[in-house]
Amino acid sequence: MRRVAIIGAGMTTFGEHWEQGYRDLAVEAGVRALEDAGISGDKIDAGFMGTMASGRLIGQEHIGALLADYMGLNPIPITRVEGACASGSLALRQGIMAVGSGMHDVVVVGGIEKMTDLGVNTVSDILGGAGDQEWELFLGATFPAIYALMAKRHMLDYKTTEEMMASVAVKNHKNGAKNKYAQFQKEISIADVLKSKEIASPLKVLDCSPITDGAAAVILVPLDQAHSFTKKPIEIIASAQASDALALHSRESMTGLKATQIAGKKAFEMAKLTPKDIDFAEIHDCFTIAEIMAIEDLGFFKKGQGGPASLEGRTAIGGEIPTNTSGGLKACGHPVGATGIKQAIEAVWQLRGQAEGRQVKDAHIGLTQNVGGSGATAVVHIYKNE
């Protein structure tokens, strides 16, 4: 396998885009990535696009061909990749394998979702299809309910509190307030979280990521060619994926994601690193309890210590392991197909020293963790600068 690097990164703002359609968002992100890489579209050999539910959200399938057309990239192949909320990271993984194998030299990888054109209840049902439709969604268990069950069990087993979960949202909103691409650029307090409307006990509105429109894209090349494009290539030194049971009731544990544990272990082995070597992490915080479980599953903290660590500020910028410097899904937003690529872009910006207002000091190695559904798919990538 050839070593692979990111030479360009670009994204739209995340939020409610009433004046832009699906293809508009994709083109905007793609153009920004190309401009950042300093190349034109005719240099691209292939593309991969992560998107979860375009057929149900906007009535459009055959996404690869659509984007090849509207991005002016015909006749190169662009392939749609789907893995629920991990679609973006799965697309990135496909791009890494395409470049690493030598099949392609310059690949664009993107992620996109247009979610706000439908009502909240309809979108929740569509997203629920990422779980076990027959044994969860059909019986009324949408993702807030499923993650609420995880939270309840975590609270029972490890004495995790609602204040600890709320501190995750507070920290991520503080970071998001410094990110011009974030959906919510406003700080909140623990009291704000605790008094917000209950969605599924113990989770409240401010424990939950929002419904979002947005797109993001990166350009990949072999590392040995990267310096002909940019002075600051960011190498992807590990890419790992794992699966678990689709339904929560079929899993070994409700207080962690085995897929994350396995993917994380594989990624660390591939990179020849340990959790202590990571300078910052972008974590899949679809709900505040998800970030707490993830920082435990990845080995940053022992099981049961993720909640106290969050409350104590150990995951804040300047802390032990700065987590979700972009604002995470919670504050930056969660256009499900785009989230994994946005995480990669935040890693690029941190490693280039371009994360304005939220820069991690002396950042050399970053990690991203992206989850599909309630944990049936997990993807972990590790990045480094020179």
Q: Hey, which residues are catalytic here?
A: 85, 334
Q: Beta-carbon neighbour count of residue 212 at 10 Å?
A: 24
- Comparing CA positions, the residue from 144, 84, 173 lying closest to residue 376 is 84
3-state SS record for 190-233: HHHHHHCCEEECCEEHHHECCCCEEEEEEEEEEHHHHCCCCCCC
Strands annotated E in 229-335: 234-243, 280-282
Cβ(114)–Cβ(21) under 8 Å? yes
Q: Name residue, tokens 């499923």.
A: 146
User: Of all helices (H) and strands (E), which one includes residue 292?
Assistant: helix 288-297
CA distance 244 to 251: 7
Q: What is the DSSP letter of 9?
A: E
Cβ(270)–Cβ(239) under 8 Å? yes
Cα of 61 vs its chain's centroid, Å: 22
- Comparing CA positions, the residue from 348, 363, 378 lying closest to residue 264 is 378
CA distance 75 to 341: 24
- Rounded to the nearest 5 degrees, what angle is found at the Cα of 353, between the Cα atoms of 318 and 275? 50
- Name the region of 320 (left: φ>0; alpha: ψ -120 to 50; beta: rest): alpha
Please report the DSSP string for 236-258 in residue order. Answer: EEEEEEEE--SSGGGSS-SSS-H
Q: Beta-carbon neighbour count of residue 35 at 10 Å?
A: 12
